A and B are shown apart, each in its own frame.
Chain A
Amino acid sequence: MGRRHRRSKVTRVVNLVKKIIAFFFSHIGLCALVVGYALLGAVIFKAVEGPHEAEIQELVKSAREKAVDVVWNATFRVNRLDSKQWKKTVLDEVKRFKTVCMLSIRKGYDGKEYGKQAQWTFTGAFLYSLTVITTIGYGNTAAKTYIGKTLTMLYAIIGIPLMLLFLTNIGDVMAKIFRFLYAQSIRLKFRLILWHKKRKAAKIRRANSLVSRLTRGHRVKADSSVDSFGLGAGADVEDLLTARVEMEQLEVRETAAAQLESMTVPISLVVFTMLGYLGVGTTIFKVWEGWTFLESFYFCFISLTTIGFGDKFPSTSVSNTDEAQEKLVITSIYLLFGMALLAMCFNLAQEEVQNKTRWIADKFRSKEDDDD
């Protein structure tokens, strides 16, 4: 009895865990999981990399102060009248300063003053987390410390499969929605065609009634011809016209049913959707950043295909204000939704390409059979 009770508890716990996992990997749970994971990454990377950034900025500042002091002291140690000697000393010091500057840039210095501008704000870290798990990887903001790099690798191992899973599921859902809307548009189109056909049928029926009214004297002959096939001239023409219109309606319904059964969205529509989304992004970044049209389109394309060169990056020339942070958030949302839309387009285009390939393969196979 005690053992059975314990097994029952174990069963209950196992089923509860399975239900929780099922919820988290359903569509809503998966979106929440991805966003939560990105927020977690933002918190971690801000905590790890923020102090390092401040340290580097302080280093460059102190190096600059030291260089200025050395040059000032050199002014008094060297004879004032000898310009060549003084220039040589100053050049050596400037060269040493540039070396320190280069090393600091390699360590992560971004040419900004301490406290005024910082890369590793919360939204900056959020965008960094998103670029890691989507494998965009701009590289403008990159982990510099040992701990930061280690955490980036662990974060990517868990995050990249999670992101692939998210894109797969959301791509499937969006493909279904897109297909449903396309089917609705097809139904609407054929409904209009049927409406025109029915109006035509009504006109023909009205014409038939007029003709029968005009041939009132031949009514007896028309009645006798009902039982036979095609003997009476008027009745035959009327029947043929009505049958033709009915057949046209039937053909329209069959065509609509065939297209709805195949349910393949054409590639041109998919490409048009993708170009539309790129156009929207191009407009947004052009207004914000002052880039040219080509530069904005270039940035959107490089980002959504996850190449991510990083030569163009939003809010580079903007200070650490609320507006800049808001832009980073909107950029993150644009990238996340854009990745899902791209997955949807790939899904639909893949189906279409598979159908075309199968059709071509069947054609080649039949040709080979004919040759054999």
Chain B
Amino acid sequence: MLNPMYMNHRASTPNPQVSYQPSTSSFQRHHRPSSPGISLGPPSSPPSLYNLQQIASATGVDQQNNDVEELSAERLNLYLDKEEGEIENLEEEIDETTEKKWWLRTKRWFRLALPHFGLVLLSIGYTLIGALCFHHYEKPYEQQLRNETSRRIGELKNRVMDQLWRMSNNGTAYSTWRQTANDGMDELIRDVFWDYTRNYMTPDDVIYGDGPIKWSFMSSIFFSWTAITTIGYGHIVPRTDEGRVAIIFYALLGIPLILVTIADIGRFLATYIIKLHHGYMAVMSFVTNSCLKCIKWACCWIRLPRRHIPMPTLELLQRTQKLYPNNNNPTVAATAASAGGGTGRRKKQQRDNVSDAGTFDNISEINDGSEGGENENEGEEEEQIQFDPSNHEKRVSVLFILLIMLGYVAGGAYIVRWWEEWTFFEAFYFCFVTVTTIGFGDIVPANVDWLPATLAYIVFGLIITTMCIDLVGSEYIRDIHFYGRSLGRQFMTIGGKVVHLGEVFGYVAFLQKNYGLTAEQLTKLSQLPEEYLLDCLINGRQPDLNWIGGRPYVPPDIYYFKWIEHPRTLSFASDRVLQSMESLDLNTSRCSTARTLTPREYYQKILFQYCKQLQPEEPIADIDN
């Protein structure tokens, strides 16, 4: 039944004929090995699927033939998609040949690099403009404030001392004199505290009346940078109204700019961190494999010669069937003691691997619970080892990130304390508070000469911190979403074991991904109903991506049709073939009237017909009149 349809398809569309011809030859070549796969485990199809097959094939004589045709259709879909992939590869090669010219490469490189450098230069320029602005506004006010403060404290001192001198000469009692002295001291304390906390005076400013200028240009740059990165020490702040208005607008524009710049550079660095971590995990996996080989060698286990299976689909079917065996296979053991020890060690190894994976606990327990043979254990072990690298490529461990961050903070502390008179703990505290953008301001760099070095440290520290938080945060959010979604999931019983559905489907997706399915096919797989997927899992059959399940197929271009042909949509052709065949129907005489109308025109015609149905109101009105 399927063969004449494809012949018609080739006759109707001559262009893809060349690409589809090798697929048919490969289909014919692979037709023979499929029958042993079917004979291994004859599946029992559900009634609805049986009815669909019967309708599609129109010959319900032999069930075996239906299964053969269904499996062949599935494989044909797989190979059609692979052929399309090859066509895309050829197109990419053609593109690559055209891009060999050097000026095209240079143009592309500039196009890629220009936004990054533009962001960095824009940030630097913005910081300098802010520094100029604040320097212009705040420095005169600072000088005025300093002069006023030193004068006021001097007057206060002289007044208190004159008062005390006159009282001591008059022979006043000690209690009264003491109270006056205490009041004077309290006033001094209050004034000194005010100068220190509100006007940000240093002890030299208060005692001697001189000290370093706070709003120098370098300090202004430092202030601008700490403002737009939201560190905000607060050791120097704008005191004038103009300065405060300026800082509001400056931060409003500067904070998003800096966030974008730091995130951009952080993402650039994150790729290197992931590669570094991947290399580390590769070394660890190599060591683990060596240990496993030693264990195998110590157990003196002889592997049975396994048949080489040519087709990946058949191997997939076998492994899928191994997951949920209907009947127990006979156990093969050379020696009871050595086999028991080896099995225990392998299970421990499997448990360790599964704990690394994290989300496949139940599946591993199902595998451990089944009393399968050693071959199954080896198969599971290989699958787990294959699974680990792909899993570790995606996530970076939290400890690794913490080590990077704390290492950077400690290194900075070790460097900064050379030019600041701090202990190591104080320097570490300062670096930590800065890099996390808390910015208390109780410990701030006082040496102006080394301020550029401190500034550079802060810049790179913020980039590294942003990168670390992004990596760890994304992982946490993914886990949290998984746990959140898992609450709504159900627990079902398969083969006498309690199985979490999300994990089963995740594992199925992993298996499918391992055998080269495209993202589109995975999307279709996810859209299939769960009952159908479970049936495929139980019966050891690959799910049909184009399975419709009793629903009529509704094409997107519904306006062009007056009718839907039911048997055609139940065929197992791919969507592309189906759409092309349906588009050909526009040329037939049945749809000749619909071909000339656009959807809007067609709807307007219906609208006019609807308006004319409103006319029978007139005779009723005439009768009333």
Q: Which residues does A use to contact B, with CB under 8 Å?
A: 4, 7, 10-11, 14-15, 18-19, 21-22, 25-26, 60, 64, 67-68, 71-72, 75, 80, 83, 86-87, 90-91, 94-95, 97-99, 101-102, 105, 109-111, 131-132, 135-139, 142, 144, 146, 149, 152-153, 156-157, 160-161, 164-165, 168, 205, 209, 212-213, 216, 219, 222, 226, 235, 239, 242-243, 246-247, 294-295, 297-298, 301-302, 305-311
Decide if A247 touches B480 in the complex (CB within 8 Å).
no
Known: A139-B440, A294-B245. A305 touches B361 (CB 8 A): no
Give the docked Cα–Cα distance between A68 and B189 (Å). 13
Q: How far is the CB of B230 from chain A (nearest CB, A)?
A: 5
Decide if B234 touches A311 in the complex (CB within 8 Å).
yes
Return 11 A-B CB contacts under 8 Å, by A number: A68-B185, A98-B188, A111-B190, A135-B230, A142-B441, A149-B429, A209-B617, A294-B244, A305-B230, A305-B251, A309-B441
Taking A90-B161, A307-B439 as known contacts, 16 extra A-B pairs with beta carbons closer than 8 A to each other, sorted by chain A number, are A64-B189, A68-B185, A72-B174, A87-B161, A136-B438, A137-B440, A138-B234, A139-B233, A139-B441, A144-B442, A165-B477, A222-B618, A226-B612, A239-B612, A247-B604, A307-B231
B409 nearest CB neighbor, chain A only:
A153
**Interfacial chain B residues near A242, Cβ < 8 Å:** 611, 614
Give the docked Cα–Cα distance between A330 and B189 (Å). 31
B residues 483-519 with Cβ under 8 Å of A?
Answer: 483-484, 486-487, 498, 500
Q: How far is the CB of B471 from chain A (nearest CB, A)?
A: 11
Decide if B607 touches A307 in the complex (CB within 8 Å).
no
Q: How far is the CB of A16 from chain B (nearest CB, A)?
A: 12
| One of B116-124, B176-184, B274-282 contacting the partner | B176-184
B residues 114-144 with Cβ under 8 Å of A?
Answer: none
**Interfacial chain A residues near B192, Cβ < 8 Å:** 98, 101-102, 105
B615 nearest CB neighbor, chain A only:
A226
Give the docked Cα–Cα distance between A79 and B24 (Å). 122
Q: Which residue of A71, A105, A160, A305 contacts B436 across the interface (Cβ within 8 Å)?
A: A160
Known: A90-B161, A146-B425. A137 touches B472 (CB 8 A): no
A15 nearest CB neighbor, chain B only:
B500
Decide if A301 touches B185 in the complex (CB within 8 Å).
no
Give the docked Cα–Cα distance between A98 and B91 (Å). 81
Decide if B181 touches A72 in the complex (CB within 8 Å).
yes
Decide if A153 touches B611 in the complex (CB within 8 Å).
no
Decide if B230 touches A307 in the complex (CB within 8 Å).
yes
Q: How far is the CB of B605 from chain A (nearest CB, A)?
A: 10
Q: How far is the CB of A57 from chain B (nearest CB, A)?
A: 11
Give the docked Cα–Cα distance between A306 and B402 (Å). 23
B203 nearest CB neighbor, chain A only:
A102
Q: Which residue of A91, A161, A209, A222 contacts B473 across the interface (Cβ within 8 Å)?
A: A161
- Indicate whether B218 reaches chain A with its CB closer than 8 angstroms: no
A113 nearest CB neighbor, chain B only:
B186
A111 nearest CB neighbor, chain B only:
B193
Q: How far is the CB of A360 from chain B (nearest CB, A)?
A: 13
Decide if B608 touches A239 in the complex (CB within 8 Å).
yes
Known: A64-B189, A111-B190, A219-B622. A142 touches B440 (CB 8 A): yes
**Interfacial chain A residues near B252, Cβ < 8 Å:** 301
Decide if B611 touches A64 in the complex (CB within 8 Å).
no
**Interfacial chain A residues near B361, Cβ < 8 Å:** 11, 14
**Interfacial chain A residues near B429, Cβ < 8 Å:** 149, 152-153
Decide if A102 touches B440 in the complex (CB within 8 Å).
no
Decide if B432 touches A21 in the complex (CB within 8 Å).
no
- Indicate whether B73 reaches chain A with its CB closer than 8 angstroms: no
- Indicate whether B255 reaches chain A with its CB closer than 8 angstroms: yes
| One of B4-12, B48-56, B163-171, B386-394 contacting the partner | B163-171
Q: Which residue of A22, A25, A80, A205 contacts B168 across the interface (Cβ within 8 Å)?
A: A80
Known: A111-B190, A309-B237. A168 touches B477 (CB 8 A): yes
Known: A26-B484, A95-B207, A111-B190. A105 touches B196 (CB 8 A): yes
**Interfacial chain B residues near A146, Cβ < 8 Å:** 425
Q: Which residues does B use to contact A, with CB under 8 Å?
A: 157, 161, 164-165, 168-169, 174, 177-178, 181-182, 185-186, 188-190, 192-194, 196-198, 203, 206-207, 227, 230-234, 237, 239, 241, 244-245, 247-248, 251-252, 255, 361-362, 365, 368-369, 402, 425, 429, 432-433, 436-442, 469, 472-473, 476-477, 480, 483-484, 486-487, 498, 500, 604, 607-608, 610-612, 614-615, 617-618, 621-622, 625
Known: A4-B369, A18-B483, A86-B165. A309 touches B234 (CB 8 A): yes
Give the docked Cα–Cα distance between A26 and B232 (Å). 32
**Interfacial chain B residues near A142, Cβ < 8 Å:** 440-442
**Interfacial chain A residues near B207, Cβ < 8 Å:** 95, 98-99
**Interfacial chain A residues near B486, Cβ < 8 Å:** 18, 22
B487 nearest CB neighbor, chain A only:
A22
**Interfacial chain A residues near B469, Cβ < 8 Å:** 160-161, 164
**Interfacial chain B residues near A109, Cβ < 8 Å:** 193
State the 7 A-B residue pairs at the shortest beta-carbon distance, nearest first.
A307-B232, A137-B438, A111-B193, A139-B441, A309-B234, A22-B483, A139-B440
**Interfacial chain B residues near A131, Cβ < 8 Å:** 438
Q: How far is the CB of A263 from chain B (nearest CB, A)?
A: 21
Decide if B168 touches A139 in the complex (CB within 8 Å).
no
A4 nearest CB neighbor, chain B only:
B369
Decide if B232 touches A301 in the complex (CB within 8 Å).
no
Give the docked Cα–Cα distance between A94 and B484 (Å). 66
Q: Which among B252, B442, B469 has the greatest number of chain A C-beta atoms within 10 A? A: B442
Decide if A94 touches B157 in the complex (CB within 8 Å).
yes
Decide if A298 touches B244 in the complex (CB within 8 Å).
yes
Known: A102-B206, A165-B473. A60 touches B189 (CB 8 A): yes
Decide if A64 touches B245 in the complex (CB within 8 Å).
no
Decide if A132 touches B483 in the complex (CB within 8 Å).
no
Give the docked Cα–Cα distance between A309 and B247 (Å). 11
**Interfacial chain B residues near A226, Cβ < 8 Å:** 612, 615
Give the docked Cα–Cα distance between A302 and B241 (Å). 14
**Interfacial chain B residues near A94, Cβ < 8 Å:** 157, 188
Give the docked Cα–Cα distance between A354 and B304 (Å). 58
Give the docked Cα–Cα distance between A298 and B614 (Å). 67
Decide if B165 touches A83 in the complex (CB within 8 Å).
yes
Decide if B232 touches A102 in the complex (CB within 8 Å).
no
Give the docked Cα–Cα distance between A142 and B194 (Å). 18
Decide if B185 touches A137 in the complex (CB within 8 Å).
no
**Interfacial chain B residues near A99, Cβ < 8 Å:** 203, 207
